[in-house]
């Protein structure tokens, strides 16, 4: 039998052992030799996505991991125990094992008083969560959960505050619930029916004819409007409006007088007054009718004038054309 290459075998085994120890050490065995501080918090909301080993961060800096998650049966709160490396904290120096109790916990105690809270945050798109220690704005709105009765030695309690996504999820759930109540099928059927009706209506010959008529009317209206624009200047319109105002004032005065008469009416005089008032009203109506007739005539004249001016604008200077005189041929 060929003997073993003992040197090669020795190198192989030694390297293997060194690699093994190195890998185990770097993968977490070194944590055994580090002094850990313990923090405890209570959550009222669901901690789905948080697991033993999840990160604990202070203002985004990883300071430890979740050590234990317990459901407290007496108050149905979720207790989360965290292991924190105190050597990360320090004013330019690392804590020694002796002053962990004093400096580290003293720091956390003072920070808790000024609003340091635990909150669940998403670690990414995977749904995993971590515990964030920070000073949140809405701390004062949420009541602080009471400290657990059994907290253990060297454990420090930090209250929690509800996470932002709790509200978002609630809102989303509410919205989804509302959306689910919408009867899409009915809406769809109704919309389809309405569209069919509209299609049928649009294809109706009467509507087509009505549209044509409206188009013609619109064209005529445009022409009239253009003619009026040419003739009815601003001054004339003011004048007409002023006259109408006068008429309306007269009507107003008349109405007041009628009111006075009615108010001061006596039984024996009422009939007479009423008759005279009715007569006055009748006269006024006649006058009004007359005025409106006159106005109508005036408008017709204006339209005629406008048309005439449109055909022969120079007539405004020269006056109306004299009838053409026919001369004898010789």
Partner 1 sequence: MKKKTMPTLRDFVEGIGKASTIIRCDCRDMIAFTGDLTLTLLFICRHPGKIRWRETLYYMDLCGSQALPIVLMICYLMGLILGFQAAVQMQKFGTEIFVADLVGFSILKELGPLMVAMIATGRAGSAFAAEIGTMKVNEEIDALSTMGLSPMRFLVVPKMLAMLVTMPVLTVFGDVAGLLGGMTVGVTMLDLPMVVYYNRTIEVLSPTVFNLGLVKSVVFAFLIAAIGCMRGFQSENDAQGVGRATTSAVVTSIFWVVVADAILTMLFSVLGF
**Residue nearer to partner 1 on the CB measure, 16 or 146:** 16
Closest by CA to 59, choosing from 81, 89, 38, is 89
**Residue nearer to partner 1 on the CB measure, 124 or 205:** 124
**Residue nearer to partner 1 on the CB measure, 22 or 313:** 22
Q: Least distance in Å: CB of 30 to partner 1?
A: 10
Q: How far apart are the first and last CA of the chain?
A: 158
Q: Least distance in Å: CB of 17 to partner 1?
A: 7
Q: Least distance in Å: CB of 118 to partner 1?
A: 20
To the nearest 10°, report the CA torsion of 79, 82, 86, 90.
-60
CB atoms within 10 A of CB 105: 16
Q: Least distance in Å: CB of 76 to partner 1?
A: 25
The residues facing 39 across adjacent strands are 82, 156
**Residue nearer to partner 1 on the CB measure, 20 or 135:** 20
The residues facing 82 across adjacent strands are 39, 66
Q: Least distance in Å: CB of 191 to partner 1?
A: 38
Q: Least distance in Å: CB of 128 to partner 1?
A: 11
Greatest CA separation found in the chain? 158
**Residue nearer to partner 1 on the CB measure, 18 or 292:** 18
**Residue nearer to partner 1 on the CB measure, 8 or 326:** 8
Q: Cβ-count burial of 281 within 10 angstroms (0-12 exposed, 13-18 middle, 19+ buried)?
A: middle
**Residue nearer to partner 1 on the CB measure, 26 or 184:** 26
- Tell me the C-alpha distance between 130 and 65, whole Å: 9
Q: For residue 102, report the phi and psi dihedrals to the nearest 5 degrees.
A: -80, -60
User: How far is CA 212 from each of CA 204, 215, 217, 218, rounded to the nearest angstrom?
Assistant: 13, 5, 9, 10
Q: Least distance in Å: CB of 176 to partner 1?
A: 24
3-class DSSP state for residue 57? strand
In terms of residues, how long is the chain? Answer: 330
Interacting residue ranges for partner 1, rule: CB under 8 A: 1-6, 8-9, 11-13, 15-17, 19-20, 23-24, 26-29, 53, 124-126
- Tell me the C-alpha distance between 250 and 3, whole Å: 138
């Amino acid at each position: 039998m060929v003997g073993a290459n003992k040197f090669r075998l020795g190198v192989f085994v030694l390297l293997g052992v060194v690699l093994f120890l190195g890998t185990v050490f770097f993968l977490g065995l070194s944590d055994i030799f580090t002094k850990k501080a313990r923090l405890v918090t209570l959550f009222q909301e669901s901690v789905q996505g948080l697991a033993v080993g999840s990160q604990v961060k202070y203002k985004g800096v990883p300071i430890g991991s979740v050590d234990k998650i317990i459901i407290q049966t007496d108050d149905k709160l979720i207790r989360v125990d965290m292991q924190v490396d105190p050597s990360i904290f320090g004013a330019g120096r690392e804590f020694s094992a002796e002053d962990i109790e004093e400096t580290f916990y003293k720091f956390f105690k003072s920070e808790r008083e000024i609003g340091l809270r635990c909150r669940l945050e998403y670690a990414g798109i995977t749904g995993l969560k971590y515990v964030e220690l920070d000073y949140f704005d809405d701390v004062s709105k949420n009541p602080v959960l009471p400290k657990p009765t059994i907290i253990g030695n060297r454990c420090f309690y930090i209250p929690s505050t509800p996470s932002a996504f709790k509200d978002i999820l609630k809102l989303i759930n509410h919205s989804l619930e509302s959306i689910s109540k919408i009867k899409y099928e009915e809406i769809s059927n109704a919309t389809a029916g309405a569209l069919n009706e509209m299609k049928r209506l649009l294809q109706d010959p009467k509507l087509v004819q009505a549209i044509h008529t409206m188009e013609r009317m619109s064209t005529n209206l445009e022409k009239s409007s253009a003619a009026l624009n040419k003739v009815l200047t601003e001054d004339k319109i003011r004048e007409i409006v002023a006259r109408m105002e006068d008429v309306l004032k007269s009507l107003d005065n008349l109405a007041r007088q009628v009111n006075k008469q009615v108010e001061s009416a006596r039984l024996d005089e009422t009939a007479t007054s009423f008759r005279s008032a009715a007569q006055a009203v009748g006269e006024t109506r006649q006058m009004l009718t007359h005025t409106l007739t006159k106005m109508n005539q005036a408008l017709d004249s204006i339209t005629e004038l406008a048309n005439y001016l449109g055909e022969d604008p120079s007539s405004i200077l020269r006056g109306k054309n004299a009838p053409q005189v026919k001369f004898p041929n010789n």
